[in-house]
Homo-oligomer: A and B are copies of this chain.
Amino acid sequence: MAHTSVDEHAALIRSLVALPTTTETVDLWSALGRVTVAPILSPVDLPLFRNSQMDGFAVRSAEVSAGTSLPIVGEVAASPGEPAPLEPGTTVRIMTGAMVPAGADAVIPVEDTTVVGGTVTIHRARSLGEYVRDRGSDTREGDELLPAGLRLASRHLAVLAAAGIARVEVRTRLRAVVISTGAELTRPEHGVAILPGQIYDSNSVALDAAARAAGADVTHALFNGNDESSELRGAMLVASSDADLILTSGGISMGEHEVVRDFLGEIGGAIGHIAMQPGGPQATGTFAGVPIVSFPGNPVSTQISFEVFVAPILREYAGLPAAVRVSRELTVDVRSIPGKRQFLRGRTVGGGRVEPVAGPSSHLVAGMAASDVLIDVPETTTELKAGDTVETIEL
């Protein structure tokens, strides 16, 4: 795959990553943000029974006109228990949500009445059905409450609960393993002083968080061994035993010690160069049935590679919306390398404008942190002027 385009490489990765088809059943308290597998039909009518929309008096509407007085013979609260049928010529107090007694067919709001002793005088007539919520007026048994493939928000969980559904079948989360490689890497949490030539690993933190933000379950590992592919094979054996996707950073460029490149070569992976900057070197493979997507080790290259190639797949699977693309106006002139699609870091400023942050170099991790969009400069563009419109991708 020498110098394929960004879109071609994205398509390759999409074809490689088999999304999980397994499901699990979770209770509603754990279902926020999960994705339904199948349409969910209502097991009941909603409302479950005919009930009052107001606090007031349940009546037979035909008996009531302006000035009608009726004896109050009881009360129906919103509580368990079935009320007695309403006797003709009488009324009962009724609370919002309470079951309307058999025989009653309308509710007079308390605001339209005067109560003296045990008698209520009603100030205006109501027609049949007024302030009564019919059984099934919201949804019917067998109706679709929620479609398949829906990311569950609070209002979706609410209707499941209202229908008496306590558990819901959802897509299993995609399990990603992140392996950051490089003999020069260490981690601040290890608590040992950094040596000359060592740097702090930021790629596993970045990929772990980015994949979780895209809806995946993630485990992470730091591989800072002796750059022998047999050791990486061992790490891959462990990773592939429990993963749907393995992401690696580092070790795939043209240097002498490229452990991921060596390993992917052994397993028949594809190592090549994409017409993009940052993130030119890219590689893929499959090990023990698990797809491997390998990014270059420069932190900005890794982060942008994930956003461009993997995040869209994970987000779609998790029912999350695609990254928002917005056209914005450049504040300054920008040059770009011919034949490479550039993803510049940008910061939005007022008035729908964007300014590049830091330079194009792929080690500028602080510049990446200071940006809020990527500026997507097409392969064929070499020069942009202040005021030109560019496509930006929200981070």
B297 touches A97 (CB 8 A): yes
A48 touching B299, Cβ below 8 Å: no
Minimum Cβ distance to chain B for residue A219 (Å): 10
Closest to A76 in B: B197
On chain B, the residues within 8 Å of A71 by CB distance are: none
The answer for the CA separation of A196 and B368 in the assembled complex, in Å, is 60
The digit string for A299-316, where 1 denotes a CB below 8 A from any CB of B, is 100010000000000000
Residue among A46, A53, A154, A156 with the most chain B CB within 10 A? A154
Given contacts A189-B27, A254-B110, A395-B155, contact A145 B79 (CB under 8 A): no
A contacts with B, residue count (CB < 8 A): 97
Cα distance, A212 to B53, chains bound together (Å):
30
**Which one of B27, B162, B363 contacts A47 once the chains associate, using CB atoms below 8 Å?**
B363
From residue A320, how far is it (CB to closest CB) to chain B in Å?
Answer: 13
List of B residues within 8 angstroms of A207 by Cβ:
154
| A81 in contact (CB, < 8 A) | yes
Q: Verify B165–A81 contact, CB threshold 8 A.
A: no
Looking at the assembled complex, report how far the CB atom of A69 sits from the nearest CB atom of chain B, in whole angstroms: 20
Let me know if A188 and B209 touch, CB within 8 A.
no
Number of copies: 2
Given known pairs A256-B95, A369-B156, the reply for A363 and B79 (CB within 8 Å) is no
Q: Which B residues touch A395, using CB under 8 A?
A: 153, 155
Which one of A83, A166, A167, A358 has the highest number of Cβ atoms from chain B below 10 Å of its Cβ? A166
Q: A249 to chain B: closest CB distance in Å? A: 11
B133 touches A205 (CB 8 A): no
What's the Cα separation between A209 and B79 when bound, in Å? 26
User: Contacting A183 at CB < 8 Å: which of B79, B189, B198, B210?
Assistant: B79
Question: Which chain B residue shows the least CB distance to A281?
Answer: B96
Query: Given known contacts A166-B187, A184-B80, A197-B81, is B29 in contact with A205 (CB within 8 Å)?
Result: yes
A229 to chain B, nearest CB (A): 16
Closest to A52 in B: B255
Q: Chain B residues near A196 (CB, 8 Å)?
A: 49, 80-82, 99
Which A residues are closer than 8 A to B by beta carbons?
27-29, 32-33, 42, 46-49, 51, 53, 55, 75, 77-83, 93, 95-99, 110-111, 133, 137-139, 143, 145-146, 152-167, 182-184, 187-189, 194-203, 205-210, 212-213, 220, 253-257, 297-299, 303, 358, 361, 363-369, 371, 395
Additional A-B contact list (15), CB under 8 Å, known A32-B209, A97-B298 = A46-B366, A78-B183, A78-B255, A79-B184, A80-B198, A95-B255, A97-B199, A99-B197, A153-B213, A154-B210, A155-B369, A161-B201, A161-B205, A161-B206, A166-B187
